[in-house]
Every structure is written in structure tokens, then in C-alpha cells.
Amino acid sequence: MSRLEKIRTRNSLLLEEVPEYRQQAAQFAEDMESQRRLRRSLIRFEPGILLPCIALGFSPCLMQITENLVAVCFNVSLLKYAGNTAVGAVTILCTIMNFTMLLLTGMTQGAQPILSYNAGAGNAGRVKETFRMVLFSCTVGSVLIWAFCMFGNELLAGIFTNDAGLLAYTAWALRIFMSMSAIFGIQVACQYSMVALGNAPVAIFLSIYRKILLLIPLIFLMPKIMENKAAGIFMAEPIADTAAVCTTSICFYFSFRKLLRSMEDEAVEFR
């Protein structure tokens, strides 16, 4: 018995038991007989559908790309002013920062579908409640990470190296590098919530703002200002984090308030 005959036999048995599937089964058998093929001429890209989809993933992608660019800039500046030990230390610091980002973004990405669904459904109350939970979770997570970096810095650095000199240098630099990580959860919660709520262009700008416009210039500017050039380079990270959190919080506040107002207005009109 051929494959097509098996399908027809199975469909006929199904139709006898469940009559409402008759039309679906008949259409399926017809499709199998027609041997339809996917052709390039039938594939059409609609900019109105494709571009918003790209924008949703472009902000996280840009954050990862700029992380690599920042690591290169740290290496170049530290190699010039502080030597190989500092370059080895910043490699460990960037690894710790990337691990921190994985934890925080995991929380926000889990909430993004809930935010998007309820925003589309016009459920302003649930959108606010979900964002509060995301903000609380990310803030608590970042505070715990900060505490571990401040008080367990030697233990954390010891995971990556056994060299006594590099371990001591990394433990010292870690306290400077991660000194403002306690508030970084606010940045992540607001930025990824913007993407979920359809405001991806602002989230993309904030990604560029923190890394390209703030952090990278500070990496090369701070050693020219401070006497301890290595400390100045490491301080570029907390300074950029503080400025970025303040800017992101303000942008998100006005954007979120505008979204909630529009949802409430639509709910009133619907009633």
C-alpha cells in the first residue's frame, strides 16, 4: 500500500468517527496529491512585518556586539598604561560581567512574552504588575551580585586564576569595576521591557549610548585625568553604568506612562 493510500484509509476512518474533520481531511489529501512545492517566487518579504521583528532582536544583539568592542578597548588602554597583569585581570572582569548579564537578561526575557501579550490585550494592570516583578527581581539579583563581588572578591577571582599576583590584582580591580552593579538591574529591566512593549528603537539607542557614547570614551579619557591610571580605566565602567541607569530610567518612565495612558484611553473608548 502506497503512502497516499495509507493517508486516504486513515482519513476515511477518521471521518467515520469524527464527521466535523471531513473538510480538513479532504483538503489534506488534496494537498498531498497536488505535490505542492515551496517556490522562491512565492516568498515575499513585507517590510512592515519583517523590520519590527528584526528590531526586537537587534537591541540584545547590539549589546553583545558592543560587549566585545568594549573588551578590546579595555585591553588596548590597560596594555598601554598598566601592563599584562591588568589585561589578564580585565579579561576575568569582563567574564564576570557577562555572567551577570546572563542572569539578569534571563529574568527579563522570561517576562517579555507576558508583557507583550498583556500590552496587546490592553491589560494595563497586568502590564504594571509584571514590570514591577521584573524590576524587583532584577534589582534583587544585581544587589546580590554586587554584594558577592564586594565581599567575596578574592573567592570570585580565585575561580579564574591560581597566580597570586593576578589574583590580588583582580580582587582589587573587581571592587572598582563592579562598584555600581547594584543598580544595573534597573537598566536591564527597563531596557528589555521597552523591547517587549514595542519600543525597540529607544532600547537600541540606549545600548549604543551606554557602550559607544559613554563607556568607550571614558576608557581612554579616565587615565589622562587620574593619577592612578589603571584605577581610572576600571572606574570607567561604574561611571558609565550610573549615567546609563539614570538615562534609561527617565526614558522608560515617560515611555511607560505614555503607553499606560494610551491603553487606558482605548479601554474607555471600548466601553
- Residue 206 lies in domain: 61-270
Based on the fold, state whether residues 130 and 228 are members of the same structural domain.
yes
Based on the fold, state whether residues 184 and 263 are members of the same structural domain.
yes
Rounded distance between C-alpha atoms, residue 4 and residue 34, angstroms: 11
Residue 114 lies in a domain: yes
Rounded distance between C-alpha atoms, residue 177 and residue 67, angstroms: 15
Based on the fold, state whether residues 153 and 106 are members of the same structural domain.
yes
Based on the fold, state whether residues 120 and 150 are members of the same structural domain.
yes
pTM confidence score: 0.76
Q: What's the number of domains the chain is made of?
A: 2
Rounded distance between C-alpha atoms, residue 57 and residue 71, angstroms: 22
Higher pLDDT among residues 29 and 128, named by residue? 128
**In whole numbers, what is the pLDDT of the chain averaged over residues?**
82
Residues contacting 150, CB < 8 A, separation 6+: 175, 178, 179
pLDDT tens readout for residues 128-161: 999 999 999 999 999 999 999 999 999 999 999 8
Query: What pLDDT does 23 receive?
Result: 61
Q: Residue 86 pLDDT more than 80?
A: yes
Based on the fold, state whether residues 249 and 163 are members of the same structural domain.
yes
pLDDT tens readout for residues 218-250: 999 999 999 899 999 999 999 999 999 999 999
Based on the fold, state whether residues 155 and 222 are members of the same structural domain.
yes
Based on the fold, state whether residues 192 and 101 are members of the same structural domain.
yes
Task: From 77, 44, 23, 66, select the one nearest 210 (Cα to Cα).
Answer: 66
pLDDT tens readout for residues 43-71: 777 777 777 777 666 766 777 777 788 88
Residue 51 lies in a domain: no
Based on the fold, state whether residues 78 and 33 are members of the same structural domain.
no
Based on the fold, state whether residues 10 and 96 are members of the same structural domain.
no
